[in-house]
Every structure is written in structure tokens, then in C-alpha cells.
Structure 1
Amino acid sequence: MSSLSELVKLKRKQHSLTQHDLALKSGLGLRLIREIEQGKTTMRMDKVNQLLALFGMELVAGPKNMP
């Protein structure tokens, strides 16, 4: 998985959810869901973790991928 946006979109589709459904289930705004899936690079970690928690995941530190 190369990006958070790809991960969120994949998990959402695996669970047969629309962006609107995901927003309602996560308690986050539809705009934020769309921004995450479009690759927004700045966002609050607590909001990302709130979203990822629906899929049994959380944001953690790891090694940086070097080009």
C-alpha cells in the first residue's frame, strides 16, 4: 500500500461503503473523507485514527520510504 488515500479507499470499498456512509459511521465530515481519498497531505492525526479505527487500524510511526 503506497498511501493513506489508497488504503482508505480500498477499505471503504471492501466494506461496500460510500464516502457518505463512511462519514456517517466514522463521525467525520464528508469533506474530510473526500480530502483523505484525494491525497490531502495535512490533517489531524486524531481524525485519521478515528477513521482508521472503523477498520481495526491506527496510524503509527514507521520508517520513511526513500525514493
Structure 2
Amino acid sequence: METLSKVIKAKRKENGLTQEDLSLKSGLGLRLIREIEQGKTSMRMDKVNQLLSLFGMELVPAPKSRDHE
């Protein structure tokens, strides 16, 4: 299971975007983009979904992985 930070960083790079580009395209602050990619653990779900929507994704409930129990 990949972490949110890894997914967002990978998608950003796949699309040839810098953190600054992603900030502008998503309407989110550069600081938040950096914090998310560094593994920030608490953030607003609407902001995460705003960012993920650029890549055709959204945050959804999923079964908890046994590796993280």
C-alpha cells in the first residue's frame, strides 16, 4: 500500500509538474503541497480531494491494511 505522499509525488512527476506548478494548478498553497509530499499526517480531506482530482483520483474509505495495525 502506497502512502498518500508517495502517490501525489509520483503523479506530479508523471505529469512533469514541479511543486510550484501543482500548487498553481490545484489552487492550494505551495507550503501545503510540500507538507503533503513530506508525509504530513493531518490535513483537511477537501484539500486532499482538491489535489487528487487533478489526477482523476479521490480519497475514499478502504479496508485497513494489516501491515499498519
- Report the TM-score, using the length of structure 1 for normalisation: 0.97
- Which runs of no fewer than 5 residues in structure 2 stay unpaired? none
Partner of 2:31: 31
Q: How does 1:17-56 map to 2 (within 5 A)?
A: 17-56=17-56
Question: 2:27, 2:41 → 1: CA distance?
Answer: 21
- The one-letter code matched in structure 2 to 1:10 is A
Superimposed CA distance per residue, residues 8-45 of structure 1 (whole angstroms, 9 cap, x where no aligned partner): 00000000000000000000000000000000000000
SS in 1 for 2:64: coil
Give the paired residue count. Answer: 67
Runs (4+) of structure 1 exceeding 6 A deviation are none
